[in-house]
A and B are shown apart, each in its own frame.
Chain A
Amino acid sequence: MRKITTFIALAVLSFSSIGCDRFLDIQPEGKIIPTSVEDYRKVLTSAYAKYPIHKSLTGLRTDEVSLDENVSDFIAYREIAMWKDSNTDQATTEFPWVSFYSVIFYLNQIINEGSKTMKDSPEKQQILAEAYALRAYSYFDMVNLYGKPYNSATASTDRGVPISLEIDLEQVLKPSSVQEVYNQIHADMDQAQELMIEEEQPSGIHYRFSKVALKALQARAALYQSDWNAALNFSNQVLTVKGQLSNLNTAATAPNHYTSVESIMALDNALNTNVQNLSFATPELLSKYNTVTDKRFALYFEKNGSKYKVIKGGSSDFKVSFRTAEMYFIKSEALVKLNRLNEAKETLLTVLKNRYSTEGYLAVQNSINPMNTSEFMNFLMDERFREFALEGQRWYDLRRANQKKITHTINGIDYVLQQNDVRYTIEFPRSAKKNNPFL
């Protein structure tokens, strides 16, 4: 009898003290705490995959598209086209806020925690570089959505967006100034520049940052900050590595296609399916093209009844963040501002040669030659309008250029965005305000 008792006592004891930990040590299937370079690459890919599709939405606020009121999604987007940022309908799509900060959360995790656990290697350096670059890109996009256009005179008092660099769920952040946000963007770009290893990313995964993509971002940031020397410098640096243009006289797809020779980085879905379904190109946009000699027209638009649909989007094939042509445009604009008009014209014509038919190009060349600085600047902006139609550039161009008056007709009613309207800066979304009283 005693034997049995002892045996049971032992069994109970061993089972409870030794067996327990092993019994409880279950590595859940499909779950992981990332530590290695391989893990963090997947975390970073997740951040890329979550990058907001805000550029499609900004398109609705521009003079590029008019809405098709017969599409089911119309109700979700019409108030964006009405520039109605407050008191919105329940169905109205919000501009992204939490999705930006969700991406930033992943990047903060990589930068703050991943840097500690990843083994030193070129891969680690590259992951960190991309994380810094993508964080800079996120804040750059956010400050240009929700903050006033950069103006060095007022930037330090203009309201920007809150900067989150730590993982702390209890922090309630105040918005930083536009200047502070740009300072952060530059700090991150500098970090990225120091660490970046890949010169260019191979096609198919060139949604990722590389040295050349980072330079393209630096060029664009300089452009938006009117830092013309830097803009010229960075665009030149990009073009020495990647200056090839797609000749639309022979190309079968638009130059924003991810396989195009022009594609530097292809992360942004600048015209997603919903918005493409919903929109027609405006007569104003269409009228800017010479439908015969401008080879972009047929690659960009397609007749649909009496109107034109935009066909350079609507699928991930047309993802684009930076492409070569933009660098020529930045360079040209910088040269104008630096009073190097002839070089500016020459730079732009390099692109246009690949855009127009031979006779069309000659006509354009002839019209550009006599232009003075302001005439050429206007032409350049029109050419940007044509070149980057529905690629998510227009809203930002309008903001930093003349903030012109735009009229949209919705359900038969005219809605007007006045010149220099405050709504050229988008209100913080309702969901963001609800959870943070400082917004």
Chain B
Amino acid sequence: MAHDSAAAGGALGRANKALIPIEDTANLLAAFAIMALMILGVLQIVLRSVFNTPITGYIDLVELSMASMAFLGAAYCQRLGSHIRMELLVGRLKGRALWFAEAFGTLAGLFIIGVLIYYSWGHFLRSYTLGDTTIDAEYPVWPSKLLVPIAFSIWFARLALQFIGSVRLFLNPSLEPVAVVVAKDVAEQAQDEIHEVMGDEIDPPQNGGRS
């Protein structure tokens, strides 16, 4: 990408590199929340059935923790192009037409996520000033509500980069793609699926799998 560093690709590339670790960390936090939910569930069953002392406010804890799983990975998912869409048209476009469609799609995302950041912030602020708590164990609700505008802001940043990246390629389709999702055909999607399950363990089929 040496020829690319002069213009928009340079700054865009740097912004992209800066955003990636933030997205990865946010998704990792969501991953930890899933792990914690598993441990909490097992503990709850053991404590309730064996010791007859269920965790106080278990359901409250689960509900509060769900915001981290539901939102924190949104930008990571966007970067990898995993929020579903219909590929019928986009999958067939090439060059300028493709980058126009991509720019339009990310602009739509910027609009709605922008609106949601503003109004979910308001939702958080009301909860914070009123001192809203959960019904059972009376945990404060605001930290969970705060996760929405935070996660959506990272998502917004990712969408902004993708929008700039698409516009840049629309203006000059011959440039190296930076900060855009490269549309995949079904065969490539299938490869992704295989990789997701088997990780790096995938090996040539002839040797019959791992020993």
Q: Do A and B bind each other?
A: no
The chain B residues found within 8 Å of chain A, CB to CB, are none
The chain A residues found within 8 Å of chain B, CB to CB, are none
